Structure formats: C-alpha cells, structure tokens
C-alpha cells in the first residue's frame, strides 16, 4: 500500500480578511469509480472535485497540467457533510447541514449552466462537461 498526502487538497475560507487564508475542515472524501477524481465536502459549504493525476504522477503535479482542482460546486448553504459517487461515476450526491441532498449529474454532452440555477459552479477543467 502506498500513502500520499497531497497538501493542495484543501478547502479555504475565501471570506478571510487577512493575507493568510484560513483552512476549513473537510468532512467527507470519496474516490470516483474510475479513480480519475476525488470529491471532497466540508465546512465551507462547497463540494470540490480534484484530479488524481497529479497524485499518481509527480511530473503532472510539478507542471499543474492537468489542473489539480477541476470544479467547485457552490449551491449548498451549509457545511457539506457527505459526498458519494454513484457506481457509474456519472452522478455525485452531496448532503449538507442545510438539510438538502443534491444530485450532481456529469453530462459530457452539455455545455449549459447548472440545472435549475444561474450559478453554483466554478470550473477549472478543460473537458467539455457540465455539472447539472
């Protein structure tokens, strides 16, 4: 078994008024069924999707190609307590202290906005996919 601790998998408090951004607790992490991504949820009411390529390939980490952070899903209003991928890898469920469970749909054919919203998504990945 190999152990790695990627220091860049963090949730940060973007509202902090100081130069040193405060790190926030991560409450849940789940690996995508194909191993290409991990999802994290935490105190900052966000779900973050990370690439595992920089974890598995040190050269990728040094060049930041592909990017480490792929998406930030921001529609929850309370701490995200759990994230889980479906076995197919298409859906991601997130549960929050805001008493809402969200099902995020990875649609590789869509180029639209997040379903039912005008926002809630920051994307960093070059792939033509949209979370709905």
Give the whole-angstrom CA distance, residue 106 versus residue 92.
Answer: 8
> Does residue 43 or residue 113 have the better pLDDT?
43
pLDDT at 49: 93
pLDDT tens digits, one per residue of 60-96? 666 656 568 888 899 999 999 999 999 999 899 999 9
Count CB-CB contacts under 10 A for residue 130: 19
Q: Can you list the domains of the chain with their CATH numbers?
A: 23-131 (2.130.10.10)
For residues 104 and 96, give the distance between their C-alpha atoms in angstroms, rounded to a whole number: 13
CB atoms near residue 98 (< 10 Å): 15
Highest mean pLDDT among 10-24, 70-84, 101-115: 70-84
Predicted local confidence at residue 63, as pLDDT? 63
The per-residue pLDDT for range 20-67, each reduced to its tens digit, is: 678 899 999 999 999 999 999 999 999 999 988 887 776 766 665 656
Q: Which residues contact 98 (CB under 8 A, 6 or more apart)?
A: 45, 76, 77, 78
Residue 114 has pLDDT above 80, yes or no: no
Alpha-carbon distance of 74 to 130, in angstroms, equals: 14
In angstroms, the CA 110 to CA 125 distance is 14
What pLDDT was estimated at residue 44?
A: 92
Whether the pLDDT of residue 12 is over 70: the answer is yes
């Amino acid at each position: 078994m190999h152990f790695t601790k990627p220091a860049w998998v963090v949730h940060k408090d973007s509202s902090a008024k100081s130069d040193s951004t405060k790190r926030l607790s991560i409450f849940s992490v789940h690996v995508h069924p194909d191993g290409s991504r991990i999802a994290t949820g935490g105190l900052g009411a966000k779900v973050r999707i990370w690439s595992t390529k920089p974890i598995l390939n040190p050269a990728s980490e040094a060049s930041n190609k592909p990017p480490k952070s792929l998406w930030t899903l921001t529609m929850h209003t309370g701490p995200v307590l759990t994230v889980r991928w479906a076995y197919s890898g298409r859906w991601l469920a997130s549960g929050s202290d805001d008493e809402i469970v969200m099902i995020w749909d990875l649609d590789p054919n869509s180029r639209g906005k997040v379903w039912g919203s005008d926002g809630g998504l920051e994307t960093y990945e070059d792939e033509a996919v949209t979370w709905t």
